[in-house]
A and B are shown apart, each in its own frame.
Chain A
Amino acid sequence: GDSVTQMEGPVTLSEEAFLTINCTYTATGYPSLFWYVQYPGEGLQLLLKATKADDKGSNKGFEATYRKETTSFHLEKGSVQVSDSAVYFCALSFQGAQKLVFGQGTRLTINP
């Protein structure tokens, strides 16, 4: 079945460091790909998305590129802030399926 695998956490970085959180997927066909973020004590909110190969999603300084050849959607940010501390989830869905398949989440902590 369809699945999403994220890099193991937790990840701890210093402020202004470069961030990469790896995400790979297994799916039959070409899904849409998403990154969701969960701040402490809250629900999830959409961070960015890409719906076809080579699309780049971006928001709040975060970026991720849909790589069909490597079935990946890695999340990057050039300079992280303390306020970026959260749990990040990679997810996929198919057109018309109305269901999201989530990775296990990666907890990110940014130290000042």
Chain B
Amino acid sequence: DGGITQSPKYLFRKEGQNVTLSCEQNLNHDAMYWYRQDPGQGLRLIYYSQIVNDFQKGDIAEGYSVSREKKESFPLTVTSAQKNPTAFYLCASSSRQGDTGELFFGEGSRLTVL
């Protein structure tokens, strides 16, 4: 089945540690995205990538980093510089050919900083 796989589903981190969230898609989509979801605030865009080896900052990129070395993969690193990293993180992808704005989402990763 085609889809987006995020891992791990739950992650705990001590303050000062970097963590990397995995996102893999087998939909052959060009574009991939990372969103952060906080209660009552909807989804906010962290980073997005429209093509391999290229990515752009979203609205809340500070304290995060990404890479896009392969079309299928778009990992997100939450660095120690992120002041409030506890949140639900959602990865998504879309087909540039479709260009309708429709996103396909993974099931999310919940990060808790202890």
Contacts and interface: CB of A to CB of B under 8 A. Distances in A.
B43 A45 contact: no
Interface stretch (B60-68, B76-84, B100-108): B100-108
What is the predominant secondary structure among interface residues of chain A facing chain B? Answer: loop
A98 B40 contact: no
B31 A104 contact: no
Interface residues of A, number: 25
A41 B106 CA distance: 11
B1 interface: no
B42 interface: yes
Contacts of B108: 42-43
Contacts of A45: 105
Interface of A: 32, 34, 41-46, 49, 51, 89, 91-100, 102-105
Given A89-B42, A98-B31, A104-B41, 5 more contacts: A41-B107, A43-B92, A43-B105, A49-B102, A100-B103
